[in-house]
Structure 1
Amino acid sequence: MNKKLNCILLIDDDDATNFIHQVIIKKAKIAEQVVTTLNGKQGLDFLTNSGKYHNKETPLPSIVFLDINMPVMDGWEFMEAYQGLSESMKNQIILVMLTTSYDPDDKERAQRIPEISEFEKKPLTFDMLNRLMEKHFPEK
């Protein structure tokens, strides 16, 4: 892999999970920057340069890893708001729902949302990252 992704965004309320996922991404050397947010609202603020990200130069992430169950704004509520973002922005982002949910209804619901590229089980692994990179970023 020659070029790295500009940014990966983790949206998950669990600090330990975010820490582990950051370590895996950094060891894989696939991204210049890894940003974590603790709920869907913060993730949306990051994408739209609003809230605490207002007037900050934040790179558009190439991949967003989204948890389902979070306080403030959960993954499904995030997706409702995300669908209202510009097509030009969404077309640059691979959105991966990364969850501990084993509920088949969650997977079916995710598959009905065109903006969700993948539905994966936690934790993030090197194999999962490699598979995602080969599928969605073969030129990297």
Structure 2
Amino acid sequence: MNNLSFLLIDDDEIFQFIMKNTIAEISPDIKIKFFSDGEKGIDFLKQNLGAATNLPDIILLDVNMPFMDGWEFLNEYKSLQTEIKKDINIYLLTSSNNPSDIAMAKEISELSGYLVKPISKEGIKNLIGHLPTSEWYHNQY
């Protein structure tokens, strides 16, 4: 767990603050970077394509954001995927627990799972405990 790194792409600064503190409580060794929209997250990935150690292990991706939302991020990510030399687990973040939304997300092969906000400390611990991802993950919190 000590070498894990997260990339949180979410425009909600309060959620970013909560996640930073929650992850630090779980393990202060986990690194986390924050971006407020998908475009900034994609730019970060593009800048670090040749340096797998700079790339995150986990991306937590909000659906609704300005400039580039989560769906647009995933489309851009697909085009970069062959250049990314690291297995990255991407989890969609949303406030919707609608079964049709979950089913739609399951159809996206780049996603490792679906997380419903708010995410508890136990939810993050459980997510980390599922790494490496062997099956599609959906938090029940």
TM-score tier, shorter chain, comes to 0.7 to 0.9
Q: Secondary structure at the match of 1:5?
A: coil
Q: Using a 3 Å threshold, how does the CA distance of structure 1 residues 90 and 104 change in structure 2: closer, same or farther?
A: farther
State the 4+ residue runs in structure 1 displaced beyond 4 angstroms.
none
1:107 matched residue in structure 2: 102
TM-score normalized by the length of structure 1 = 0.82
2:35 matched residue in structure 1: 37
The residue type equivalent to 1:116 in the other structure is L
Distance 2:82 2:127 in 1: 21
Distance 2:97 2:131 in 1: 25
Aligned equivalent of 1:72, options 67, 71, 76: 67
1:11 matched residue in structure 2: 9
1:22 matched residue in structure 2: 20
Partner deviation per Cα, 1:50-74 (whole Å, 9 max, x = no partner) = 8xxxxxxx81001000000001000
Distance 1:9 1:66 in 2: 8
Q: Secondary structure at the match of 1:9?
A: strand
Cα drift, residue 30 of structure 1: 6.3
Greater shift, 103-112 or 92-101, is seen at 103-112
The residue type equivalent to 2:78 in the other structure is Q
1:93 matched residue in structure 2: 88
Cα drift, residue 104 of structure 1: 3.3
CA RMSD of aligned residues (A): 2.5
Judge conservation of contact 1:21–1:123 (CA < 8 Å) in 2.
no
Partner deviation per Cα, 1:95-130 (whole Å, 9 max, x = no partner) = 111111234332222100011001010122222222
Unpaired runs of at least 5, structure 1: 51-57
Judge conservation of contact 2:23–2:30 (CA < 8 Å) in 1.
no
Say which structure, 1 or 2, has more relative contact order (CA 8 Å, 6+ apart). 1
